[in-house]
Amino acid sequence: MSSHSMSKNGNTDARTAMLQEKADDVQRVLDEPIVDLWLLRELALTEGGLVNGQYSSIPKKATPISND
């Protein structure tokens, strides 16, 4: 195995770990009773966005509609 392929796999592993950590961060924000929209925005604007569209419930959670 060449060092080039090892480096490539290392980069892939690092990106996967970063995306998993980011997914965990996004989930923590969404699990709060009141969603911190500024923190969610910061997460969205950094590498990986909101982790590949995994969080389709964000609009519902971040902008609840009141039936009052």
Query: What are the tens digits of pLDDT across the range 32-66?
Result: 999 999 999 999 888 888 876 666 555 555 555 55
CB-based contacts of 5, cutoff 8 Å, min separation 6: none
Q: Are 29 and 36 in contact (CB under 8 A)?
A: yes
* pTM for the structure as a whole: 0.62
